[in-house]
Chain A
Amino acid sequence: MTAHDHLTNGWDRNQMAARAARELRDGYYVNLGIGIPTLVANNVPAGMTVTLQSENGMLGIGPFPYADEVDPDLINAGKQTISQLPQTSYFSSADSFAMIRGGHIDLAVLGGMEVSEKGDLANWMVPGKMIKGMGGAMDLVAGVKRIIVVMEHVSKNGDPKFIPECTLPLTGKNVVDMIITDLAVFERPDHNSPFKLVEMAPGVSAEEVRSKTSAQYVE
């Protein structure tokens, strides 16, 4: 962490998730990725019905189970034990990805390593490091109606992550609709438009965002 970072206010992980949760709408079917995106589930506004999809074959993810109700046959895509809800349904991986690829899921929230100014996403491999695989990320970004990427604004080395061109292997090309970082929110109305800086975290200035972003965007 550099001395400069200590000057930054901005959102913590849960606040980033809460910001993403503001994009939810009543009746939405949503897929949440692993990490910060999972925290979005704790921030669904009261009175709103949002159905969470797990790509291993479930609609209607419930909360973590009580210790005496843990079921090895009931896990989420992160392989964590979960519970079911009265409205839950189960299906195969083929059916699960038919609903993902077929554009039936309203929103997906994923983590990211890099996002380019053209909306390309890289979040699955770093050359030279052990490759674990893309899991369902490529299918989600290709098929879900709206893609929100939640990530730290800069890498551990302080390098921008919202950049002109991705340097890492892509998960999807021209797929990202909104970027939520610890500093700011960028959005674009369609995949032919540039991203626009639409919001900054408390205590963060447009100058700071600019200084930590190498991508071109509209202010």
Chain B
Amino acid sequence: MAKKIYPDAASALEGLLFDGMTISAGGFGLCGIPERLIDAIQASGVKNLTIASNNAGIDNEGLGKLLRTRQVKKMISSYVGENKEFERQYLAGELEVEFCPQGTLAERMRAGGAGIPGFYTKTGVGTQVAEGKEVKSFDGEDYILERGIRADLAIIKGWKADESGNLIFRKTARNFNQPAATSGKICVAEVEEIVPVGSLDPDCIHLPSIYVKRLTCGAPYDKKIEFVTTRERESA
């Protein structure tokens, strides 16, 4: 079996990073973000990155770290709130942002990874998002042409992977990790646990091993929560 397992995020990324590259990243807010790989990219000093990711992290968390070090040239995202450094760079014209509807972004990654260079969608018809895009009518309704995303590299976070790279996610931490993984020419995954081949149910694999070229275990994780909301226990 070809060896996919690397001792840490830095070695898993070795030889893959170059200035001006495009990276697809998984995660929604701070949920399911590939934080070890982001740290390693920060440490590498690679710059002029274009990053396709639903969000841009928050100040000094997630992709916010790469913004702080000015390694990002352009973000392709649907929502970038809760990030003061992002706001400052964007308003100062230092950071380029392509706002992309969330579902269109997910489908652009999915399509790119599935060999589909473009697709038509109703999302954004008649809005700013449609500007400069081909409009085509199907059965009397207008759709706009959106491009698939084929990234130089995908970075994702999973829950468990077996030694061959078959991977499962946990709860809503799956989010963009699955489509992002497929959109990369090469995908590097970090997980909480690497288990022996045969210990994951083949019927329950979320991301088949073919998509995972390199794998590293990033445990232990101290997962951040943006908004902790709770309810009180009813008193007995």
Supposing A79-B31, A94-B179 touch, asked if A73 and B173 sit within 8 A by C-beta, the answer is yes
Residues 99-116 of chain B, each 1 if its beta carbon lies under 8 Å from chain A, else 0? 101111111011000000
Q: Judge whether A113 is part of the interface by a CB distance below 8 angstroms.
A: no
Supposing A101-B103, A101-B122, A138-B101 touch, asked if A92 and B129 sit within 8 A by C-beta, the answer is no
The answer to whether A134 touches B79 (Cβ under 8 A) is yes
Q: Judge whether A145 is part of the interface by a CB distance below 8 angstroms.
A: no
**Which residues of A in the span 103-146 have a Cβ within 8 Å of any Cβ on B?**
120, 130-139, 142-143
Residue in chain B with minimal CB distance to A67: B230
Q: Judge whether B235 is part of the interface by a CB distance below 8 angstroms.
A: no
State the CA gap A73–B31 with chains docked (Å).
6
**Which residues of B in the span 154-194 have a Cβ within 8 Å of any Cβ on A?**
159, 169-179
Number of interface residues of A (CB under 8 A): 53
The answer to whether B231 touches A63 (Cβ under 8 A) is yes
One of A5-13, A16-24, A167-175 at the interface: A167-175
The answer to whether A134 touches B78 (Cβ under 8 A) is yes
Q: Judge whether B205 is part of the interface by a CB distance below 8 angstroms.
A: no
Residue in chain B with minimal CB distance to A122: B127
* Residues of chain B contacted by A172 (CB below 8 angstroms): 125-127
Q: Judge whether B233 is part of the interface by a CB distance below 8 angstroms.
A: yes
* Residues of chain A contacted by B199 (CB below 8 angstroms): none
The answer to whether B179 touches A173 (Cβ under 8 A) is no
The answer to whether B126 touches A90 (Cβ under 8 A) is no
State the CA gap A63–B206 with chains docked (Å).
26
- Greatest chain B CB density within 10 A among A67, A73, A81, A98 is at A73
**Which residues of B in the span 77-127 have a Cβ within 8 Å of any Cβ on A?**
77-81, 87, 90-91, 97, 99, 101-107, 109-110, 121-127
Q: Judge whether B71 is part of the interface by a CB distance below 8 angstroms.
A: no
Q: Judge whether A57 is part of the interface by a CB distance below 8 angstroms.
A: yes
The answer to whether B175 touches A97 (Cβ under 8 A) is no
Q: Judge whether B32 is part of the interface by a CB distance below 8 angstroms.
A: yes
Residue in chain A with minimal CB distance to B81: A132
* Residues of chain A contacted by B232 (CB below 8 angstroms): 66
The answer to whether B228 touches A70 (Cβ under 8 A) is yes
State the CA gap A120–B107 with chains docked (Å).
24
The answer to whether A64 touches B178 (Cβ under 8 A) is no
Subset of 5 A-B contacts with CB under 8 Å = A71-B171, A73-B32, A97-B102, A134-B78, A136-B103
Given contacts A78-B227, A139-B104, A170-B126, 16 further A-B contacts (CB under 8 A): A54-B172, A55-B103, A56-B31, A57-B28, A65-B230, A70-B230, A92-B176, A93-B105, A94-B179, A136-B101, A136-B102, A172-B125, A172-B126, A173-B125, A173-B126, A173-B127
